[in-house]
């Protein structure tokens, strides 16, 4: 059974939900076992600078109270959000626990995978050999 924070910030605050910047959502405190135990420490090690939110596309008027409907985001936030989402789904499968709705939304997960791969294709050496993999027999669960 899903846990809900309602439809707006006021409802989320009344329901004692917490704002998760990489989810762009208010989430129930009990939600996100995979997020809290496994994903956050990994993402923090990669990108420890705090995320900021703005009222305007030029990033001049910062928002602090997390009360908005649609806001502009930095590109790094979009990528971190997508990595968070993919890791959250994998951690949920590996370790159990609840995960947020977007980690189960196939269209959103596809969008995130496409966003990451499209950016990676623009990196120098995209089509050059730079690693090796051990080929093995596998299992499906």
Can you give the residue ranges of every domain in the chain? 31-62+72-120
Token pair of 57, please?
């596309």
Is pLDDT of 42 > 60?
yes
Q: How far apart are CA 87 and CA 80, in angstroms?
A: 10
Is pLDDT of 140 > 80?
no
Q: How far apart are CA 45 and CA 52, in angstroms?
A: 18
Contact 63, 55 (CB under 8 A): yes
Mean pLDDT of 41-45: 66
pLDDT at 84: 86
Which of these, 53, 47, 49, 35, lies nearest to 104 by C-alpha position? Answer: 35
């Amino acid at each position: 059974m899903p846990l809900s924070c309602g439809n707006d910030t006021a409802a989320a605050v009344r329901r004692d939900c917490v704002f998760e910047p990489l989810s762009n959502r208010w989430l129930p405190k009990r939600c996100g076992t995979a997020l809290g135990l496994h994903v956050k420490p990994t993402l923090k090690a990669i990108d420890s600078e705090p995320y900021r939110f703005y009222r305007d596309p030029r990033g001049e008027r910062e928002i602090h109270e997390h009360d908005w409907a649609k806001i502009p985001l930095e590109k790094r936030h979009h990528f971190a959000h997508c990595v968070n989402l993919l890791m959250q789904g994998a951690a949920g499968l590996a370790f159990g626990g609840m995960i947020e709705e977007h980690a189960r939304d196939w269209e959103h997960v596809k969008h995130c995978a496409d966003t990451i791969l499209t950016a990676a294709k623009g990196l120098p050496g995209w089509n050059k050999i730079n690693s090796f993999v051990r080929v093995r027999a596998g299992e499906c669960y």
